[in-house]
Structure 1
Amino acid sequence: MHPDHERDLLTMLRNKHLARLLDVFHERLVRHGEPRGRVAIETRMESDALADIIGKQVKEGSTIKLAEVDLLLREKSAFHCSLADAVKLASGKPIIRPKVERERERAARERVVARCFDLLPQLGLSSESYARVVSWMHAGRDSLRRDAGRWREAELLAAVRAVALALHHAPGRNEPPVYLAELANRVTGAGAHGLDAKRPAGTLLLRALEFLYPETASRERRGSSAWRTNLLSEARIARDPVSVRVDTFGLMGDTPYLRELRRAALTRSLNLDDLGQIGSEVRCWNGCVFVAENPTVFTPLFRHLREKHREENHPTLVCTNGNLNLADWTLLEALVSSGAHVYYCGDFDVRGLEIAASLLTRFPEDVSPWRMTADDYVTAVQAEEKKLDPAGLQRMSRYFPGLVHEMSSRGHAADQESLIDLLKRDLNRFVLEGIAPPRQNEPPGGHSVLYSAM
């Protein structure tokens, strides 16, 4: 179209009485991809405005085919353009059908995701880290496509790069934890907050950890603070050195602090910084550590020991206060490394069994459930206890087949608080006779004789 004709046509298209018709034309072209259907002329002003560009008067109240409008613009008007050309000139933007636009956006997002995969070989990842990152990205490819639609390409590439490096630099199972802010400084280039949950890299890191540790992810509501903390803990990433703790009683060790702590028979909450100072020195009494899920069990047990037994004969107790955090894991790893066997007592519900299962998975030869048999459950259960989640319970059947069968048949949870007297009796026997509770896979009624109590 000649520039002069284009200016003249644009002037006519700006007639306010054409606005409704242009909207209709645009909608039909977007829907069908070509001029199809009819349009009604509602007023005389619309008729006159349309006649100015197509050279034909259409009476108000009558209709005209869009194909005819297109033909008249092409062959009869002075402008010799299509209806689509006129509509694009009026709106200042191309006419794109939704299907075409969706396909274009899909292809663009796919190109961005492909670039995310392409950058991985440049990062110097270990073979193990590379495999973990690629597995997560393949499994979460649909999510990455959505991310490519909501974030800029540079943001997504930077976030994937940061997560890949974070997984590469994350500590191994027996290595000291790393702090989130320090890791963010190292891998994001965006400062200490680069891996915060609401930032792209932080969002992707949690998504990657959810893929890598599905059982841990299933224990809390997705997106909750506990869910985030548990996933970071599983990867040995801590928010800071002091915000998580483990409660203890009766620790031993050849340092002035641990000797004095034991002599005073005090409980002590230890954070990651404390454990970093004393972890390699910490020991338990006579090779066993007794772990309680709840402080309501831990408290009567350490009070009983203080009341009934001398300080030098206090067994070592640990309280996890629910799911194990990094401080819990760090202490238990140090104790197991020094030769300890862990006895864990938890509630008879899905959460308690999950915690026990996580310990059995981490330390298969060094952990035994404590008072968590089917018989113990029958002793503890009461009819008014809360109902159990059948699906969650069945996930635990491979760890505790007999117990899960009994719990499923009764359908009620039970608390370890109901067994406190039996737990105290076990500790008394351990102190006075040197006999520990049965270990995992020991014959029924079997007890471990650990030392001669003289």
Structure 2
Amino acid sequence: MISSAARAYLTTPGLTPLWQTIRDRLERNGLTVTGVVTLDLDYQAAEDLSGLLKRAVPPGRARLRLAELDAALRSSAVAQGLVTVTAELTGGSLTDRKAVSEARRTSRYNLWEYWENSLANAGLAAAPWVVEWQHGIRRAGLLGRAGEAAETVIQQTMAVLRTMSETTPLADRSHDAMRVALPLPPSFELAELASRACGDAHALDDGRLVTVLVLRAIAVASGEPLPSTAARRRDLWAMAGINPDTVSGTVLTWGLRPPRADPWAMMMHTRADLGLATHITLQEWHAGANQPWAATGDRLFVCENPQVLQAAARAGVSHPMLCTSGNPATVATLALTSLVQAGVKVFYHGDFDIAGVTIAARLFSQGAHPWRFSGDDYLAAVRSTGSSLPITGTVPDTPWSPFLAHAMRSHQIAVHEESLLETLLSDLSDQ
């Protein structure tokens, strides 16, 4: 402790700025008493410093060596060094800014080293999208938000991506693997994925940092924009085969009269009689809708776009229909699989674009049949609609009609199924 007399001597108004200047220099210096400080001294301050340093210090602009001040303090009645005196006169312990900065650099280095090791252990280090993903995370400072939980966040992020890579081409070394594969068939419920990968059903809740990092990975890997709304985040999960909940993903039905007499089936009969379309959720499927929706040998038509089903309803078509509303949600996949397994003849039509033929290929491989979805149908659609929508990207193979892929690659024109309502409705009216 500095005596009250010594404190009074050292903290005269003229010397007060000196100690704050010295504090700043010492903190930048790594707390070493080297170098000089420069400041303006009035007559009283110059006289007080002259007494401390035992040499004449003229008023005005002065350059003071820290080592000289340190030695003078130690040999004076204060009997303490410059670092200790400065700390006491300026309100507390000094911070070694160099050491703090170095510790932060080391911490960041160690953190990214941990990231790289975790990435390699997840089998994703060679994936071509990873570099862009990492750069985006660095620029956004996302790991810095995790604080002391950063390693846990990294661990959980890599565990989720590793689990997803079992059903998605995230680890594929092809640049277009994810983009071409999307939309993917449902493989997990979101809470199920979180529990399996992280041991916490809420680890992928909206707003969690792990969720942000994983969605960024999916977006970058698939060439999609970063999702900025809750709806877009749900869409991105669904595109990657992850069902975000049990109530938002549905399959839309029209005229469905299950060949049963239980309460749910009778409700569907009533809704069909009333001319009402019905959204069926995964929750409803688990609650009892997972029984036969049609009889063996029945014909059931499935479309991709709700406008087709809406037009069928408006036209009063009596034939039952389902609509996947784009990439089939989990409940739509379960329903279509169940129908095929029950011997129902399921016919599917979708958009003539990359996403459309990708969905169709998956459904056809599971037992559905093409509904006006061949190469000849595509050429007729191009002629009848006069569409000028460009196809962006590489059209995948279409094994049910190899000519379809050839024709789409040649014309590079997309045709959405809602522009073919007249043709599709005529098929339904003939059933």
Q: Is this a same-fold pair by TM over 0.5?
A: yes
The residue identity in structure 2 corresponding to 1:105 is R
Percent identity between matched residues is 17
> CA separation of 1:323/1:47 partners in 2, compared to 1, >3 Å: closer, same or farther?
farther
Distance (whole Å) between structure 1 residues aligned to residue 49 and residue 355 of structure 2: 73
Please report how far the alpha carbon of residue 338 of structure 1 lies from its aligned counterpart in structure 2 after TM superposition.
4.4
Distance (whole Å) between structure 2 residues aligned to residue 30 and residue 81 of structure 1: 18
Please report how far the alpha carbon of residue 39 of structure 1 lies from its aligned counterpart in structure 2 after TM superposition.
1.3
CA offset digits 1:96-140 (Å, max 9, x no partner): 345x5343113234556777899x9xxxxxxxxx8479999x877
Q: Does 1:295 align with 2:306?
A: yes
The question of whether the paired residues in 2 share the 8 Å contact of 1:17 and 1:45 is answered with: yes
**Unpaired stretches in structure 1, ≥5 consecutive residues:** 121-129, 432-454
Distance (whole Å) between structure 2 residues aligned to residue 301 and residue 15 of structure 1: 91
> CA separation of 1:366/1:48 partners in 2, compared to 1, >3 Å: closer, same or farther?
farther
The question of whether the paired residues in 2 share the 8 Å contact of 1:109 and 1:148 is answered with: no
Q: Which structure would you say has the larger RCO, counting Cα contacts within 8 Å and 6 or more residues apart?
A: 2
Following superposition of structure 1 onto structure 2, how do residues 40-189 of structure 1 map, counting pairs within 5 Å?
Answer: 40-41=39-40, 43-44=42-43, 46-48=45-47, 50-51=49-50, 53-56=52-55, 58-65=57-64, 68-74=65-71, 77-78=75-76, 86-89=85-88, 90=90, 92-97=92-97, 100-109=99-108, 111=110, 131=122, 143=137, 146=141, 149-154=144-149, 157=152, 160=155, 164=159, 178=189, 180=191
Following superposition of structure 1 onto structure 2, how do residues 305-344 of structure 1 map, counting pairs within 5 Å?
Answer: 306-307=316-317, 311=318, 314=319, 316-338=320-342, 341=346, 343-344=348-349
Aligned residue for 1:207?
A: 213
The question of whether the paired residues in 1 share the 8 Å contact of 2:46 and 2:59 is answered with: yes
Distance (whole Å) between structure 1 residues aligned to residue 311 and residue 9 of structure 2: 89
Q: Which stretch of structure 1 is more off in the superposition, 372-381 or 274-283?
A: 372-381
The residue identity in structure 2 corresponding to 1:354 is A
Following superposition of structure 1 onto structure 2, how do residues 253-272 of structure 1 map, counting pairs within 5 Å?
Answer: 253-256=258-261, 257-258=264-265, 261=268, 264=273, 267-272=277-282
The residue identity in structure 1 corresponding to 2:205 is D
Distance (whole Å) between structure 2 residues aligned to residue 167 and residue 287 of structure 1: 41
The question of whether the paired residues in 2 share the 8 Å contact of 1:242 and 1:272 is answered with: yes
Please report how far the alpha carbon of residue 167 of structure 1 lies from its aligned counterpart in structure 2 after TM superposition.
7.8
CA offset digits 1:183-206 (Å, max 9, x no partner): 6799666xx7664322xxx33145
SS in 2 for 1:299: helix
Q: 1:246 aligns with which of 244, 251, 269?
A: 251
**Unpaired stretches in structure 2, ≥5 consecutive residues:** 168-183, 398-404
Q: Does 1:20 align with 2:22?
A: no
CA offset digits 1:237-256 (Å, max 9, x no partner): 443x3333221124465432
Q: How many residues align?
A: 384
The question of whether the paired residues in 1 share the 8 Å contact of 2:153 and 2:209 is answered with: no
Alignment RMSD: 5.0
Aligned residue for 2:174?
A: none
Please report how far the alpha carbon of residue 64 of structure 1 lies from its aligned counterpart in structure 2 after TM superposition.
0.8
> CA separation of 1:284/1:425 partners in 2, compared to 1, >3 Å: closer, same or farther?
farther
> CA separation of 1:404/1:134 partners in 2, compared to 1, >3 Å: closer, same or farther?
closer
Distance (whole Å) between structure 2 residues aligned to residue 420 and residue 324 of structure 1: 21
Please report how far the alpha carbon of residue 229 of structure 1 lies from its aligned counterpart in structure 2 after TM superposition.
1.4
Q: Does 1:394 align with 2:392?
A: yes
Distance (whole Å) between structure 2 residues aligned to residue 285 and residue 162 of structure 1: 45
> CA separation of 1:132/1:330 partners in 2, compared to 1, >3 Å: closer, same or farther?
farther
Aligned residue for 2:205?
A: 196
The residue identity in structure 1 corresponding to 2:338 is A
Distance (whole Å) between structure 2 residues aligned to residue 9 and residue 283 of structure 1: 98
The residue identity in structure 1 corresponding to 2:146 is W
Aligned residue for 2:384?
A: 379
> CA separation of 1:150/1:182 partners in 2, compared to 1, >3 Å: closer, same or farther?
closer
TM-score by length of 1: 0.62
The question of whether the paired residues in 1 share the 8 Å contact of 2:247 and 2:282 is answered with: yes
> CA separation of 1:114/1:332 partners in 2, compared to 1, >3 Å: closer, same or farther?
farther
Distance (whole Å) between structure 1 residues aligned to residue 411 and residue 51 of structure 2: 86
Aligned residue for 1:423?
A: 424
